[in-house]
Amino acid sequence: MKKIVFILSFFMLSLDAKDYTLHVQTQAFITMMVEEYNFKRAYLEKLFSSVEKQTRPLAIVTRKPSKKPSLALQKKYPRYGAWDRYVKHKVTAKRVRQGKVFLRKYRRVFAKAEKRYGVPKEYIAAIIGIESVYGGNVGKYPVFDTLTTLAFEKNRRNKFYKNQLKKFIVLSFRNRFNPKNVKGSYAGAIGLCQFMPSNYEPYGVDFNGDGRVTLQNPVDAIASVANYLKQNGWRRGEPVATRVSYAGTRFKKYKTGYDRTYNRAALVGIAPKQKWVYHDKVRLIKLNRAEYDELWYGAKNFYVLTRYNHSAYYAMSVHQLAKKLKNSLS
pLDDT in tens, 123-140: 999 999 999 999 999 999
Q: How confident is the model at residue 77 (pLDDT cuts 50, 70, 90)?
A: low
Could you give the number of structural domains in the chain?
Answer: 3
Residue 83 placed within a domain? no
User: How do residues 44-60 score in pLDDT, each as one tens digit?
Assistant: 999 999 999 999 999 99
Q: pLDDT digit string (tens) for 87-114?
A: 999 999 999 999 999 999 999 999 999 9
We report the CATH number of the domain holding residue 278 as 1.10.530.10
Ranges assigned E (strand) in 197-310: 241-245, 271-272, 283-288, 293-298
Q: 130 and 230, same structural domain?
A: yes
Domain end (from 194, 211, 236): 236
The enclosing H or E element of 104 equals helix 93-105
pLDDT attached to residue 76: 60
Strands 51-52 and 293-298: unpaired
Is 246 inside a domain boundary? yes
Q: Is the pLDDT of residue 40 over 50?
A: yes
Residue 4 lies in a domain: no
State the CB neighbour count (10 A cutoff) for residue 284: 23
Domain boundary among 236, 265, 294: 236
Could you tell me if 196 and 181 lie in one domain?
yes
201 and 119 co-located in one domain? yes
Given the residues 114, 122, 131, 153, the one annotated as active site: 131
- Residue 2's pLDDT is 40
Q: Exposed, middle or buried, 276 (CB in 10 Å: 0-12/13-18/19+)? A: middle
Same domain, 227 and 257: no
131 is catalytic: yes
- C-alpha dist (Å) from residue 303 to 212, 221, 326: 30, 21, 20
Residue 295: give the domain boundaries: 241-329
Question: 124 with 220, same domain?
Answer: yes
For residue 263, CA distances in Å to 99, 242, 282 come to 35, 15, 7
Does 272 share its domain with 221?
Answer: no
Assess whether 38 and 23 both reside in one domain.
yes
Helix, coil or strand: residue 245: strand
C-alpha of 135 from chain center: 13
* Position 42 confidence tier, pLDDT thresholds 50, 70, 90: very high
pLDDT digits (tens, 9 = 90+) for 253-264: 999 999 999 999
> For residue 61, is it within any domain?
no
Whether the predicted pLDDT of 159 surpasses 90: yes
Position 86 in a domain: no
Task: Please tell me whether residue 285 adopts helix, strand or coil conformation.
Answer: strand
Q: 194: alpha, beta or left, given left = phi > 0 and alpha = psi -120 to 50?
A: left
Residues 154 and 187 in one domain: yes
